[in-house]
A and B are shown apart, each in its own frame.
Chain A
């Protein structure tokens, strides 16, 4: 097959899987997570709608420093009959908790759809653009994984990102993190293209995207840190060149943040600086055990958790990537992840699920990389098989809780014994060189991977309103 047509085929595959991910996210998107489980979803939308209609962002905030503060009942999606727990909404304006880009996009979409008052911004309206963003993120995750680890890992990562239960649920939520994720991924892709082709247009595009991401939330500063670190560690260039690249990228991207300050000065400079200061004085709510908590728990919206093995596999793989060869492509995954981890631990206000979203594409790429490692060398089969058995086991276990599956335990025990036995056999170089043995292992691994993805789908089919209501 010609290289060109092979690339088209992979691109089409990634696109089709992203479209499948979009379909999965659209099923019951306005019911699960329950509307109002995170009132920030509405606040983000109101910020945008009020900017369009009033020229002033109006939203909810728990921060001190606002001059206008009001408690109100806004019964959007009938949250007072369901999830709001009777608490009123604390309305503030001009709202400066975060830059307004997320609000402008969601509010703009709502306005375009006919919303004019706050109660019009229902989950059915505000979650649609976010799901579109999430689907773009799936696609870009696949492209980045393809760039870094090759086509097989690209397709595997796309499939994992599209079907992972926690990704499907969390990417429905109107949070700024879901807004800047595609920009995070695209800026990394552009950076890699720039470093390969050395055409400055890609550097400028990367800088613009990084700047735009900063207009979603200040924690997108992790993108800037990651890009600067990746440029500085590019040993193929002179240090002087690297430094100049950083100066240009830094100037362009940070200037976008300046627009947020311009907005603050134009609308109410006193409130802006008071809120900015109170934002920096937030309590360190994630605690000192934050890293263990990140790895141990898989959080979903509404303070709930949803067992999903893929993030754990990703965290395990990150350790392997970090100790990889110097200047290896893996740094395009672990440097961004560690950059965001630094921001996460530095700001660390609360242990909300959405603060973890930006880790996910990198964890999913790493999981995809581990799952397909066996196709690089058969001796990696134990790594690939373990990385698949973690999510597969969790999914089947949860599925079995509500579905009677006689014989599953027996089949699981036998197949585990068989798979790990094959892994041990492959420690022999002679068996690894045998063509038929290789083919058999490839087929078995493709089967286990398909089964794991299918188990994601089975798991997702369980997650409906009733399941969500009873989950904690």
Chain B
């Protein structure tokens, strides 16, 4: 078949008309599909749900967030867990990623990331389910004992949670740290 400008121009015109119809249909479909399916809650679920493919651990000191979040600049906190027998988990967390900006919120987020259980009540916290852990944990924020887990976080703060530590031994703990 020979190429003639007249038929080429006719083809291009017909194609563009057809394409316009397809574009309009796609536009309407995408709008409709978004309106029907999108919600902030669903997005949050997709982002924050821990996958079944990832192993859950009973040991809060088994994993740590490795590395320092350089992109956080000064907006970071340290969360250190001491599980006894020398096992510990040292973590630096980006404050921007802790949506509940409290001591309890940070511990919950760490538990979600490293996938262990964290139960936080008004004045007490239980981290992990490892059998040799003692039930009670004592947490300090910037070296002061946490009595309220809804206490707000600030830049460069440090949370230390120690398994089985008694309040009277806090100073000694920091001396030996």
Contacts and interface: CB of A to CB of B under 8 A. Distances in A.
A210 to B, nearest CB: 15
Interface in B4-22: 5, 8, 11-12, 15-16, 19, 22
B92 to A, nearest CB: 6
A255 B20 CA distance: 10
A34 B130 CA distance: 30
Contacts of B16: 251, 255
Contact of A55 (B19, B37, B68, B71): B37
Given A54-B37, A248-B8, A263-B30, A88 B71 contact: yes
Contact of A71 (B23, B67, B94): B94
Interface string B91-112: 0111011000000000001001
Interface in A94-118: 116-118
Nearest to B29: A266
Contacts of A53: 37, 42, 46
Interface of B: 1, 3, 5, 8, 11-12, 15-16, 19, 22-23, 26-28, 30-31, 33-39, 42-43, 45-54, 63-72, 92-94, 96-97, 109, 112-115
A82 interface: yes
A251 B15 contact: yes
A266 B31 contact: yes
A265 B26 CA distance: 11
A258 B72 CA distance: 38
B3 A240 contact: yes
B5 to A, nearest CB: 7
A7 interface: no
A258 B113 CA distance: 40
A87 B27 contact: no
A319 interface: no
Main secondary structure of the interface of B (DSSP, over half): helix
Given A263-B30, A266-B27, A117 B49 contact: yes
B3 A244 contact: yes
Contact of B23 (A58, A80, A247, A259): A259
Contacts of B53: 119-120, 122
B71 A80 contact: no
Nearest to B31: A266
Instruction: List 10 tightest A-B contacts by C-beta distance, closest first.
Output: A86-B67, A119-B51, A85-B67, A55-B34, A266-B30, A71-B96, A55-B33, A117-B49, A55-B37, A86-B69
Interface string A151-183: 000000000000000000000000000000000
B14 to A, nearest CB: 11
Residue of A119, A240, A251, A267 with highest tally of chain B CB at under 10 A = A119
B153 to A, nearest CB: 14
Contacts of B22: 259
A76 interface: yes
Given A50-B43, A266-B34, A255 B54 contact: no
Contacts of A78: 54, 63
A240 B93 CA distance: 64
Interface string A225-257: 000000000000000110011011001100100
A52 B74 CA distance: 37
A87 B67 contact: yes
Contacts of A265: 27
B51 A120 contact: yes
A86 B92 contact: yes
A390 interface: no
B16 to A, nearest CB: 7
A298 to B, nearest CB: 27
A193 interface: no
Interface string A244-284: 11011001100100110011011100000000000000000
B49 A73 contact: no
Nearest to B25: A262
A81 B12 contact: no
A255 B11 CA distance: 14
Given A53-B42, A54-B42, A266-B28, 20 more contacts: A54-B37, A55-B35, A55-B36, A55-B37, A56-B43, A71-B96, A72-B48, A73-B65, A73-B94, A82-B66, A93-B43, A116-B46, A118-B46, A118-B49, A119-B49, A240-B3, A247-B12, A251-B12, A255-B16, A267-B34
